[in-house]
Structure formats: C-alpha cells, structure tokens
A and B are shown apart, each in its own frame.
Chain A
Amino acid sequence: MAEPTGTTWNCYDAATMTAREIYGRVLCELADADQRIVGLSADLAKSTSIAIFEKHAPERFFNVGIAEQNLMGVAAGMAKAGLIPFASTFAAFASMRACEQVRTDICYQNLPVKIIATHGGMSFGAAGTTHHCTEDLAIMRSFANMTVIVPADGIETANAVRAVKDLPGPAYIRIGRGFEPPFYESENYGFQIGKAQEVHPGTDLTIIACGIGVLQAVEAAKSLKEVDGLSVRVLNMHTIKPIDSEAILKAVTETRRILTVEEHNVMGGLGSAVADVIAASGKGCAFFKAGLQDEYALVGYPEDLYAHYKLDANGIIEQVRSLLKVEFEEDEDWNDEV
C-alpha cells in the first residue's frame, strides 16, 4: 500500500484514501493539538490504519499484541489516568472478544475511551463469519453511557472521529474495511452526533440507513423516482445511539412507511433502535428491517454479499416496493391507535 498523503487543504485525501486511512490521518491531526490522545491496537495497527498514528507519534502508541481484552482494560486505565485513548481493532474482537471489558471497564466507569472498530459488518467478506461482525451495534447499544456511530464513508468517519474526541464518555465508531465508495464530498455538511441527516427528500416512504447502506439507499431512491415515480426520503442515521427520535417520528408522520437498512443482524441494531422509537410513539406505520435476517453471512466479496442480502441499491429497491404493498391503518385519526 502506498504511503497515504494528504491534499493541500486537508490532512487526508478522501478520493484516494480508505475510511480507516482517513481515521489514521485525522487522529494524527487531533493528537498534534491534544497531548492526551494516545493510540492503541492489538496487532492490527496496519490493518486498522492506526499505524499511521504510530508512525506519527510512536511514544503515544501502544500495541498490546493479540490480546483484545487487555487492549480495552489498558485503554480504560489510561483514561482513568487522564488520557483520551483511541483503541482500534476489528469490530468482531472489539465488541465480542472484549465485550465485558468494554462494558465493565469502559462504560460502567463512563471513561472517554474511543473505540474505532474496523472491518464491521460483512466488509471482510471473504474472511467469513469469524471476521464478520453483524452483532456489534446491538451489543454496544445496550451499554449505558456508550455512543454508537456508523459513518457512511471516510469523510463521515473524519467527522465522527473529531466529534467523539471531546465527548466526556465512551464512543464506538464502526467502519468497514475501507474499500467502500465515498458518499460525501466534503466534511462541511453539518455532522452532529445524534442528529440524522436527510440525504434525499421524499414523502412516500423513508429509508433510514447507516454505513454503506446510505449510498445504496440514495441510489435506490433516485431509481425509484425515475422508474416508479416514487418520492423516497433517505435519512443517514449515522448515530445509532443516541438515536434521533425527532427525525424518525417526522418520517413516520410524513411518510408512514419506514425501511431500515443496516449491515447487521436485524435484531438489536439500527432497525430495532428505530422500532423502539416508533413503538413508544403509538403511531402506526408500515415497517421493515433490511439486513441479515437472523443468520450468519456467506463468504464472498462484500459487494456480492450486499447484493445477496439485499443491501445494495437493487435489493433496497425490491424491499421498498414490497413495503409499499403492506397495508396498515391509513386513516388520519391516530387517536384510536394510541
């Protein structure tokens, strides 16, 4: 891999860099301004691109070897002693091998450890289920004090990394392997933790997506407009927790049909978070959760897996069309539904 270089106006070049490379560069930039930042990894410095930080600030980088539980415990201890640790490993190991350390050492003590989990979802497709991670959002979302973010691309990863730096508590940022196509063109679109962004307007149905689903959903919305004459709204729900209830309820009220799209088991992740909000509101709507339907993914290139599990534009189009056929109480008087 060629040494990444930044453009003249930024510390990274989104056109040529993967999300994790961008993460590494932004972390260097943040670390120059804040001596409290330290980087940690568990023998995945290169794979998670935190090696860029290691090269930049070697005295502030710690590779604990293939020991993810220790990685999270050490990060917690560092935070207790005044540092802001960014700990990087694959999502499967961050959320499952080190699950209890994240929950008990980091979240219970509400420490500012920032976990950058790469290779989330099925992005490490050919590696198989041991290296896929389609449970992490459910796990992390259930930990009190935790903020959970799934950026849509490298640029949003940069925004998320900057945003979590000064959060007083822990954060989990889930990114892919880094070969995902870019969605945003610049960082200046008003990223805010806990605030969904409407990335395509619409009134017939709303797709609430995160991660790779955002670009695919927008492409689907464009096709549906062209081919079916449908007006499909797309929300980039980059923050799974705290979830943007306001944007969800606005979508329910205005479009009455919600499709969630996540690279995750449909149990406990984005779709469940959205469903919680809808259920608590007492408002009825047609609803479907796209994602892995309680199964482990096959082996293959990520794009083939996304197509197979209907998470690409074509798959999303198909699911939007089915959801439009679902009947539900359509009257405008919701009092009888509460």
Chain B
Amino acid sequence: MPLTREQRLSLHRRAKDLRKDVVNITNFSGGAHIGGGLSSMDVLVLLYFHYMKIDPQNPGWEDRDRFVLSKGHGAVAYVPVLARRGFFDFEEVKSFNKFGSPFGMHPDSRRIRGCDASTGSLGHGLPMAVGMSLANRLQGRTCKTFCMLGDGECNEGVIWEALMAASHYRLTNLITIVDRNHMMIDGQTEDVMAIEPLADKLAAFGFEVHAVNGHDLDALAGAIERGIAVADEDLNVTAGLKPQAEIRKNGHKPIAIIADTVKGKGVDFMEGQVPWHYGSVDSTLHAKALASIDRYYEAIFAAEGGNNG
C-alpha cells in the first residue's frame, strides 16, 4: 500500500530527528562516518519505522525481519535508529566511540540489542544476509532479510559472489538495497573504481532491479513493497523443506533496490562532499548542521502543504 500523507509526514519527522541524532553523535563521539550515515537515513527510517516486523522487547524473536548493515560504517545512523525504535535508551548512545562502549564506528551484534550482524569490514554483510535468508526459508519462516550495501562496497569481489548465490537460490526473502551515494573515501565511485552500469550489472546477475530516488519515501516504499510482495508470494510456495532445485525453478528473481542518494543529505555543507565521508563537527559546525537540517525539512513540510515539523 502506498504511504498515506500522514505516514509520510510522520516518517519525515522521524528522519529529521534521526538526522539530528547523527549530527549530535558525530559531535559528542569525536568523529563518525557522517556522510554515508545521512545518505542512508531515509531507507533506514522506512524499514525500521514502517516495514520491518520486529519487537524491541524481544530482539531475538525467531520470526522477526532481519536487517544487515553491510556498509557497517553506517553505524552512526543505524545505532540511533535502533535506539529510537526502542531497543535501548538513547542515553546509552552517549558512550559512542568511548572506552568499552557497545557502540563503535562499526556495529557489534554481540553488544547491541536489535543488531542482527556485526559488520564493518566491507563485503561481509551480504553473504551473511544470504545465509540468514536461506536459513529462514529452510525453517519455514516468512520473515524477510533486508541488506544495505554501500556503492563503494560493491568493489568487493565477495559481494558478487553473494549476489550470484542470492540469484541462484532465487532468494526473494532477501531484499538488497544499495545506498548509491556516489562517493567513497578517495573520491567519486566512478573515478576511483567505476561500478556503473550498476543496474545492468545487477540485472545481469539475475535481479529485478528498482532504481529509485533514495530520499523519496514514496518511491522507496514502492520498491520495498514490491520486494515484500514477491517474497511473500514465493514463501507461500516454498515454505518448509523443499528441494533447492524446485525452489530455484519456481521462484521469482530477487529484488535489488538502488537507492540513489546524496552523501551528507540534509546538511548543506556536507552534501556531495567527499571529505565528509568521515568527519567531526565542533560546536560551530554542530549548530550550523542542525540549522541546515531544520531548513531541509522546512522545505519538505512546506511542499507537503503546511507546518508539520
């Protein structure tokens, strides 16, 4: 179902607060991967505050939807999302990067409630998400696994090993989302190591590809809902112990979403700036960043027709 105006506004409000959380964490932690955190936020908010079936009171619930942040350096966005979703108190996040904290630059599933996989070394998340999806399907669960990749991360060969496997197994209960923010540490993805034409590559690997604006909640919602619908349809057919060959014959192509995003989205002086892959914000920049987020959302709410911030 498309998002209602109320839902969209509510998700924007959530994303606005969380973008401020990201800026705040970057400020008090001493430094964080803020650019890629901000680019991924709208996808994260849609998943965690609208689509994913999860229970913060029961993080180990077997039938829950899973999320794997393959671009683990996005922890600066992922951790506050988990906190605001109710897995733990945001107060705890104040220890971010500090001695003994559960929260470092990359998420630790053994220490963070609600975190489904430890990630950070690029290329490791998608294979684990493939394993989770295979295991959940084998055990007759109807849950889905969402996996978010970085675009630079797609340089890693093992990503393509995992994509090959997801396609081979017709793993539609896995929904792969690439945060296509066009930048990596050393520059533009197309300058450092070109990954285009990414959609064609994913399609050639056997995926149904949806390339959408990664900050347009409706466009993202449409792609995610297509993924969920395909997963449900296949899971009805393949639930339980079925020979792999049969599943492979009858299943749909798995869904890959390329979320076209802007690195640093919401903070004007960071948007599209390679050096803001990782950075720190002092009190001056901190205030400037928060003010920029306010302006960014004023425009969004104005376009929605009214002051809803």
Q: Does A108 contact B (CB under 8 A)?
A: yes
Chain B residue contacts of A61, Cβ below 8 A? 244
Interface residues of B (CB under 8 A from A): 62, 66, 68, 109-110, 116-118, 120-121, 123-124, 126-136, 138-139, 157-158, 161-162, 164-165, 168-169, 241-244
Neighbour of B244 across the interface among A62, A65, A73, CB < 8 A: A62
CB pair A101 B124 closer than 8 Å: yes
9 inter-chain pairs at a CB distance below 8 angstroms, sorted by A residue, are A64-B161, A69-B158, A77-B129, A77-B131, A81-B66, A82-B62, A104-B121, A108-B118, A109-B117
CB pair A73 B138 closer than 8 Å: no
A residues 45-85 touching B (CB-CB < 8 Å): 58-62, 64-65, 67, 69-70, 72-83, 85
Closest to B129 in A: A77
A-B contacts at CB below 8 angstroms, number: 114
Chain B residue contacts of A108, Cβ below 8 A? 110, 118
Q: Does A206 contact B (CB under 8 A)?
A: no
Task: Write the nearest CB–CB distance from A75 to chain B, whole angstroms.
Answer: 6
Known: A58-B244, A64-B165. A104 touches B135 (CB 8 A): no
A61 to B243 Cα, complex, angstroms: 9
CB pair B244 A70 closer than 8 Å: no
Chain B residue contacts of A67, Cβ below 8 A? 158, 161, 164-165
Chain B residue contacts of A38, Cβ below 8 A? 135, 138
Known: A74-B128, A77-B132, A105-B127. A59 touches B158 (CB 8 A): no
Chain A residue contacts of B158, Cβ below 8 A? 67, 69-70, 73, 101
Number of residues from A at the complex interface, CB < 8 A = 31
CB pair B109 A109 closer than 8 Å: yes
CB pair A65 B131 closer than 8 Å: no
Known: A65-B164, A65-B165. A60 touches B138 (CB 8 A): yes
Closest to B110 in A: A109
CB pair A74 B131 closer than 8 Å: yes
Closest to A42 in B: B161
Q: Does A100 contact B (CB under 8 A)?
A: yes
Task: Write the nearest CB–CB distance from A63 to chain B, whole angstroms.
Answer: 9
Neighbour of B110 across the interface among A60, A82, A110, CB < 8 A: A110
19 extra interface residue pairs, beta carbon distance < 8 Å, beyond A62-B244, A76-B117, A100-B121: A62-B134, A65-B168, A67-B161, A70-B161, A73-B162, A74-B130, A77-B68, A77-B128, A77-B130, A77-B132, A77-B133, A78-B135, A80-B116, A80-B117, A81-B131, A85-B131, A101-B158, A105-B124, A105-B128
* B62, B120, B134, most chain A CB atoms within 10 A: B134
Task: Write the nearest CB–CB distance from B140 to chain A, whole angstroms.
Answer: 11
Chain B residue contacts of A78, Cβ below 8 A? 131-132, 134-135
Chain B residue contacts of A60, Cβ below 8 A? 138, 241
A69 to B128 Cα, complex, angstroms: 11
